[in-house]
Amino acid sequence: MQTIDAKIGVSILGAISAVANPAIASAAEAVDTTAPRVVGGLTFLLTLVGFIRFLVATGRPRIEQTNYTFVDVNEAGTSSVEELVGNYLSSRQYLPHEREMSRVVVFRGRTQPSVAVGAFLVFCAAGGLYALGLAAKVLLPGNSDWWYGLVLLSPLMWLYYWNTNQREEEFRFRVDPIPPEGKAILYVKGPRDEIEAMESALKLVRNRPAD
């Protein structure tokens, strides 16, 4: 009798185990697939947000200010420094606008986009869109390769950059003489690309920021 009861008990346990194991396996499988999807979803969102911020930043004006030291310049010679910078700005299609009471000279002109920067931004946009396509393929149903077609939208980055970077900009500068030392300090404020181009053309070296 005990043997029969034992066999019945084993059969019941076997039946319970047979029913429970698929449920446990399916639950484990759900956990295994959910975690990668959550991580992938967060990666997708972060990539999308970063890409949008990147697009917006390319259209914003990048204003910078810095200063340079000219040696062997007396107080009367500051006009030669002003003339040097003014002639350079005129060659870049900037026009003199006004001279403020604080001896600040103001030039205005239209900035011209850079072909090299535009090409670089298209390359970056293609990489970002490829990453978005890869994330969409993994996360969204269908597992379609059509998501990689987003890369074909990267040339639109060129149009966005070219249109948003043709705008009127101000370039301000002031020359302060230091007679006892025979020096003059040139302070400039304007578009970063224009300042860098001026440094290259006039062979200027920036002063290091004070500690």
Domain residue spans of the chain: 1-58+113-165, 63-111+167-202
Is residue 18 scored above 90 in pLDDT?
no
Q: Identify the burial level of 91 via C-beta atoms within 10 angstroms of its C-beta, where 0-12 means exposed, 13-18 middle and 19 or more buried.
A: exposed
Sign of the torsion formed by the C-alpha atoms of 159, 163, 165 and 166: positive
Burial of 68 (0-12, 13-18, 19+ CB in 10 A): buried
User: Is pLDDT above 80 for 20?
Assistant: no
Structurally, at CATH architecture level, domain 63-111+167-202 sits in 2-Layer Sandwich (3.30)
Confidence category of residue 112, pLDDT binned at 50, 70, 90: confident
Q: State the pLDDT confidence band at 100, using cuts at 50, 70 and 90.
A: low
Higher pLDDT, 2 or 198: 198
Contact 133, 149 (CB under 8 A): yes
Most confident among 21-25, 59-63, 121-125 (mean pLDDT):
121-125
User: Does 70 have pLDDT greater than 60?
Assistant: yes
pLDDT value, residue 39: 64
Confidence of residue 44 (pLDDT cuts 50, 70, 90): low
**Rounded Cα–Cα distance for residues 7 and 4 (Å):** 5
State mean pLDDT over 90-108: 83
Please state whether 93 falls in left (phi above 0), alpha (psi between -120 and 50) or beta.
left
How high is the pLDDT of residue 119? 87
pLDDT band per the 50, 70, 90 thresholds, residue 176:
confident
Q: What is the mean pLDDT of residues 174-179?
A: 85
pLDDT of residue 188: 94
pLDDT the model gives residue 131: 79
- pLDDT reading at 28 higher than 70: no
Query: Mean pLDDT, the chain, as a whole number?
Result: 75
